[in-house]
Structure 1
Amino acid sequence: MTTITARERLINAAVEAFAEKGFAATTTRDIASRAGMSPAAVYVHHDSKESLLFTVSLQGHRSALDVINRAYAATSDPVERIRRMVYDFSRWHADHSRVGRIVQWEYHALTPEHRAEVAAFRRSIEKTMQDALADGVAQGVLDVTDIPGTAFSLLSLGVDLVRWFEPGGSRSGDDLASLHAELAVRMTAAR
């Protein structure tokens, strides 16, 4: 049995509060209450509410980058690579929709320094998708004239899920990820 640390309880409570109320409407008292701690306990682990948001953003972006990198490395077939990258990225956003919603839509609440650090993860995710597309174009199996724009669009399929997806809804995360993967192949594969 794994014991959850006080820091992890605070991060989990912050995710729930930010997802439910938004960053601006959440107080450190809300977070501490959800974690079963005193308001002062927040400041033992984080110097501010924004610091908690930054931690959630970093963890979310690291996880999403790991998903993209693993999907890229899983196959050398360019069409299957695009399919897998879009599937896995969309599935991650469905499976982690609350965290995804926070890291995508509360980005503006980060300090400029923290935004810059998070932006580096976003650029790495986009670069990996661009590399996959460029490889497929070079091999003649993908037909893409705007690699940066197409990479951004393919990634947006997954990112947009967090705006509206709710677990237990009419479409499962697997259904949507499969749809996105198929659309990605149809949009990019050479005819």
Structure 2
Amino acid sequence: MAQHEQVAEQAAQPDQAAQAEQAVDEMPWAEVTPDAARRLLVAAVEAFAERGYHATTTRDIASRAGMSPAALYIHYKTKEELLLRISSIGHEKALRILRRAADGEGSAADRLTEAVRSFVRWHAGHHTTARVVQYELDSLGEEHRPAIVALRRRSDAAVREIINDGVKAGEFDVQDIPGTTLAVLSLCIDVARWFNTEGRRTPDEVGALYADLVLRMVGAEAQK
């Protein structure tokens, strides 16, 4: 059996850490308190995903949360502050997923599989949130955008580190590591755009599929 097939099979059986991560994922925005602030944030995610950031008003968000527009300003000074909070939490989550994989045990192929599988599973399982997190970056002003860009660069660095390790170890055949890193992340992120909960694949199945595809991209299929 080729290495990419072995690793993909292992990826279908998440370890205890991954299971714990998945349990936390089932309680989105648990870190946001008090409850009113959380309700507003959830409403903002839904509105931004449905209408886009610029077409959404604070009145839209408050209405979805069952609150008055005045109540929104108790917790968030502006609509952009809401987007910043959503984006910060989402990008920090993405970084934790990728950094945990990069720092994990096993070969580069093992770690790349875990990174892609977990990253894709999150983007599929939380596709509404992920669409806002990944595709509304340009809606942030110059004051707030650099902090999010910095988080994205750290996520990029985690994947690039794994691919570089694989090339050094002779596991991967990659000529352009930065370009391949960008391709891998772009492939994973795009899942949030098209994933449908009524489709025939679950988030775990899409994660396993993409892990296999990415290993083929880096030339790991030649490894026995």
TM-score by length of 2: 0.81
Q: Are 1:77 and 2:107 an aligned pair? A: yes
Aligned to 2:97: 67
CA distance in 1, matches of 2:154, 2:106: 19
Aligned counterpart for 2:116 among listed residues 60, 78, 86: 86
Aligned counterpart for 2:207 among listed residues 160, 174, 177: 177
Q: Which has the higher contact order (CA 8 A, sep 6+)?
A: 2
Matched-pair contact (CA < 8 Å) for 1:79–1:189: no
Q: Are 1:153 and 2:183 an aligned pair? A: yes
Q: Are 1:122 and 2:152 an aligned pair? A: yes
Aligned to 2:168: 138
Deviation at 1:71, TM superposition (A): 1.8
CA distance in 2, matches of 1:173, 1:92: 8
The number of equivalent residue pairs is: 190
What is the letter of the counterpart of residue 72 of structure 1? A
Deviation at 1:40, TM superposition (A): 0.6
CA distance in 1, matches of 2:212, 2:184: 11
Structure 1 residue ranges, 4+ long, deviating more than 4 angstroms after superposition: none
What secondary structure, in the 3-state scheme, does the structure 1 residue paired with 2:143 have?
A: helix
Matched-pair contact (CA < 8 Å) for 2:102–2:161: no
Deviation at 1:75, TM superposition (A): 2.1
Deviation at 1:22, TM superposition (A): 1.1
Percent identity between matched residues is 47
CA distance in 2, matches of 1:81, 1:148: 17
CA distance in 1, matches of 2:98, 2:169: 21
Aligned counterpart for 1:49 among listed residues 74, 79, 88: 79
Q: Are 1:25 and 2:55 an aligned pair? A: yes
CA-atom RMSD, angstroms? 1.5
Deviation at 1:84, TM superposition (A): 1.1
What secondary structure, in the 3-state scheme, does the structure 2 residue paired with 1:76 have?
A: coil
Aligned to 2:41: 11
Aligned to 1:113: 143
What is the letter of the counterpart of residue 106 of structure 1? E
Matched-pair contact (CA < 8 Å) for 2:91–2:133: yes
CA distance in 1, matches of 2:106, 2:177: 18
Can you list the C-alpha shifts for 1:53-96, whole angstroms capped at 9, x where unaligned? 11100011011111111122232311111111111111111011
CA distance in 1, matches of 2:183, 2:79: 32
Deviation at 1:4, TM superposition (A): 5.9
Q: Which region of structure 1 is more displaced relative to structure 2, 71-80 or 157-166?
A: 71-80
Matched-pair contact (CA < 8 Å) for 1:91–1:158: no
